[in-house]
Structure 1
Amino acid sequence: MSVRLTPYLVLPGTASEAIQFYEKALDAKVLFKQTFGEMPENPEFPLADEQKGLVGHAMLQVGESQMMFSDTFPGQPVQQGDQVTICITTKDASLSKQYFDGLKEGGTVILDMHEAFFSPAYGQVKDKFGVTFQLFTEGETMM
């Protein structure tokens, strides 16, 4: 069984700046970077032109570890304490769901488990201790 825990930093419009900072400060390498404008459009959440350049998702390699980043989705504020979440990555959707169900006991579902364009099973939950987890399943989606 392969499971990874990855720090995920959600920033208020400064993710690109943070990525550049960590590239220099930690000798990090950008593995992936995608803006909101490069993602599939969602008519329910239209983006202004100035918002399309914000980071929708990025991954850096720091030594043997990885860090993930995004800017907050336009219009959704980040609560203090939510700037860093823990992303649990698996290759098994049923295992992701198991972890999600366990973490939501006494907690709050932020985004229910669902198939997304980037993951066959993805969800977000804040556990009963106030720690936010993202459950990400690697693999091809049906979308």
Structure 2
Amino acid sequence: MNVKFTPFIMLDGHANEAIRFYEQALGAQVVFKQTFGEIPEEGNTSPMAEELKKRIAHSVLVVGRSELFVSDSEPNQQLERGDQVNICLTVKDVSDAERIYDALRSEGKVLSPLQPLYFSPAYGMVTDQFGVTFQIFTDIN
């Protein structure tokens, strides 16, 4: 199984500011950045407030040979201390995503059910029994 771990920083409306900071402080290069307003219509389930449209839905920064993901939470999503940094676990097969998701949610807490979304054939979020939050992402290729 081919698995990739990427640190994922979630902020409450400060992702753009953090991205600029990491560009200067770490020499990060932004290789992808998408706001909630730029999400394809099939990914949007309801009308969006202007404040949400400006927030960062996802960004990928490259620092040296490593990647760092940075995004904003949705305005109604409460981030608790410790939730700002989680691990994005990327796999190539849905079956691997299902196995990992099921293992991590055992005695843990489901934050987002594993399901197909416009950006992934199987994506979900879970906090394991030790309080570590994982985003399970299946590559679209």
Q: TM-score range by the shorter chain?
A: over 0.9
Residue 12 of structure 2 aligns with an amino acid whose one-letter code is P
CA distance in 2, matches of 1:43, 1:132: 24
Deviations 1:35-82 (A, max 9, x none): 0000134344x3211221110000101111101011011211211110
Poorly superposed stretches of 4+, deviation over 6 Å: none
Residue 61 of structure 2 aligns with an amino acid whose one-letter code is L
Deviations 1:7-41 (A, max 9, x none): 10000100001001101111111111000000134
Q: Which structure dedicates a bigger proportion of its chain to helix?
A: 2
Alignment root-mean-square deviation, CA: 1.1
Deviations 1:93-141 (A, max 9, x none): 111111111101100111111000000010000000111000001115x
Matching residue of 1:72: 73
Matching residue of 1:29: 29
CA distance in 1, matches of 2:51, 2:133: 28
Residue 7 of structure 2 aligns with an amino acid whose one-letter code is P
Matching residue of 1:39: 39
Matching residue of 1:93: 94
Residue 11 of structure 2 aligns with an amino acid whose one-letter code is L
Where 1:94 maps in the other structure, the secondary structure is helix
Which stretches in structure 1 are left out of the alignment for 5+ residues?
none
Question: What percent identity do the matched residue pairs reach?
Answer: 50
CA distance in 2, matches of 1:2, 1:99: 12
TM-score by length of structure 2 reads 0.94
Matching residue of 1:104: 105
Matching residue of 1:83: 84
How many residues are aligned here?
139
CA distance in 2, matches of 1:87, 1:43: 23
Query: Is 1:31–1:60's contact at 8 Å kept on the other side of the alignment?
Result: yes
User: Compared with structure 1, are the counterparts of its residues 104 and 43 closer, same or farther at alpha carbon in structure 2 (3 Å cutoff)?
Assistant: closer
TM-score by length of structure 1 reads 0.93
Q: Does 1:117 align with 2:129?
A: no
Which stretches in structure 2 are left out of the alignment for 5+ residues?
none
CA distance in 2, matches of 1:122, 1:2: 16
